[in-house]
Structure 1
Amino acid sequence: MADIKITWLGHAAFLLEAEAKLLIDPFISGNPKAPCSPEDLDPDIIAVTHGHSDHLGDTIEIGARTGCRIISIHEVANYIKSKGVFAEGMNKGGTMEVEGMTLTMTHALHSSSIDASGFSFDGGSPAGFVIGIGGHSFYHAGDTSVFGDMQLIGELYEPEIAFLPIGDKFTMGIKEAVKAVELIQPKIVVPMHYNTFDVIKQDPEKFKRAVEAKVNTKVIIMEPGESIEI
């Protein structure tokens, strides 16, 4: 298996680096926890889970500057293309092979729209991604509540690492995220989408204790800008 470097950029943004670099939900500008600027990032691929500004983020600016491939649900891809930047749309249940990795789009329970310049655009349906790289499998849940079919995601794709929101209010909180871990059964879980703003303030140590009391899953609490390798 290939070594993969994972860097958390705060909120729901992650950079996965192997032979190619995959950037997920690049909310950098306006993110008080971001450890870098959009100009510091030169991904080969950007994957966008849904159209909300804290996930679509700097996708268009980065895509225009780097020419990287952008993958999202069909309606978000259409919006990005309307801004003069090429994007490739897909939908839930589908899989794309991109730069030696696979991206499978999964369901997420959330809302989705794109608010820009005083207008609201159809953001399609929110999604997550299962990413296969170098023999490893990762599940980025996007913004979601817990749902029973997370068990199917675990059974079908057997993700080693799951990135799960715990911030509450706009996504699942700690109680629901612990149940999600029970359903998915990953080897490792990394909490995300918390403490960016006061409204989603959470104690990740509480999440860690609750998970490790129930299932044989390791919780890794990352700081924005921190990297791990597997």
Structure 2
Amino acid sequence: MKITFFSHSTCLLKIHEKYLLIDPFFSKNPIYNKIDYLEYINNFKKIDYILLTHAHYDHVCDVELLTRKFNNVLVISNYEISNYFEKKGIKTYGINYGSFISFPFGKLKYIWAAHSSVFNDGTYGGNPGGFLLHTDEGNLYISGDTSLIYEMNIIPNFGKLKLSILPIGGRYTMDIEEAIIASDFLKCEKILGVHYNTFEAIQINKKQAKKNFYEKGKELILLEMGKSIYI
């Protein structure tokens, strides 16, 4: 499995020949200027699925742009978000907290998150969540925007995780220390940090953050924009 990080919470997963884009945030992202974000989007050769954790603009703002570019994209999210985009003519697959669901790339389960979820136009965005992804290349937890929640203890019961993608910027989500506790709950030693340094309110010291994880016997991976890891 190849994971490419684009800033904030936007990641692209390549599982065999399937491409899953998580929470696309390019056009309104303060890190990118117009040329930058269009260059990234134009470099996408293929997107098969878009996974949306919740309805905030910094996670959904480029869904319509990308589904116009890639006509056969399937948007997977909670029931309310799926309905919202389906009314715009976008192909969706609505889910909620419940069982695993099989897709060509593996099994997907919508997981609890403690956050909020509303579109910029005021439309209710349903329950915020994350995704538990089980594949023959390993298991991945994508928490979405969340605070530390005790329910994370349940997740290892479904299978050993190779990697967890957790927010670490604080204020609106977990911070560094809470993400370390979350990694204990998840029984996962390797964390990809997201949702940091995009805005002034969620700035972190990257060197100190890595040190804090290391001192607890964990690895915090902080990728530069456009860089990838394999798990």
Question: Is this a same-fold pair by TM over 0.5?
Answer: yes
Q: CA separation in 2, counterparts of 1:154 and 1:39?
A: 37
**Structure 2 residues without counterparts, runs of 5 or longer:** none
Partner of 2:67: 63
Which letter does structure 1 place at the counterpart of 2:226? G
Which of the numbers 39, 42, 48 marks the counterpart of 1:44? Answer: 48
User: In terms of mean alpha carbon deviation, does 10-19 or 151-160 score higher?
Assistant: 151-160
Partner of 2:157: 155
Q: How does 1:211-226 map to 2 (within 5 A)?
A: 211-214=213-216, 216-226=217-227
Q: CA separation in 1, counterparts of 2:65 and 2:136?
A: 28
The answer to whether the Cα contact below 8 Å between 1:44 and 1:68 also exists between their aligned partners in 2 is yes
Deviation at 1:77, TM superposition (A): 0.2
Which letter does structure 1 place at the counterpart of 2:134? G
The answer to whether the Cα contact below 8 Å between 1:155 and 1:184 also exists between their aligned partners in 2 is no
Provide TM-score, normalisation by structure 2. Answer: 0.91
Deviations 1:131-171 (A, max 9, x none): 12333111110000001111111232322101110111111
Q: How many residues align?
A: 223
Secondary structure in structure 2 of the residue aligned to 1:112: coil
The answer to whether the Cα contact below 8 Å between 1:191 and 1:204 also exists between their aligned partners in 2 is no
RMSD, aligned α-carbons: 1.6
Whether 1:132 aligns to 2:134 is yes
Q: CA separation in 2, counterparts of 1:39 and 1:125?
A: 32
Provide TM-score, normalisation by structure 1. Answer: 0.91
Partner of 1:192: 194
Secondary structure in structure 2 of the residue aligned to 1:88: strand
The answer to whether the Cα contact below 8 Å between 1:72 and 1:88 also exists between their aligned partners in 2 is yes
Which letter does structure 1 place at the counterpart of 2:204? Q
Which letter does structure 2 place at the counterpart of 1:228? I
Whether 1:203 aligns to 2:201 is no
Deviation at 1:36, TM superposition (A): 4.2
Whether 1:109 aligns to 2:114 is yes
User: In terms of mean alpha carbon deviation, does 8-17 or 154-163 score higher?
Assistant: 154-163
Secondary structure in structure 2 of the residue aligned to 1:31: coil
Deviation at 1:9, TM superposition (A): 0.9
Identity within the alignment, %: 34
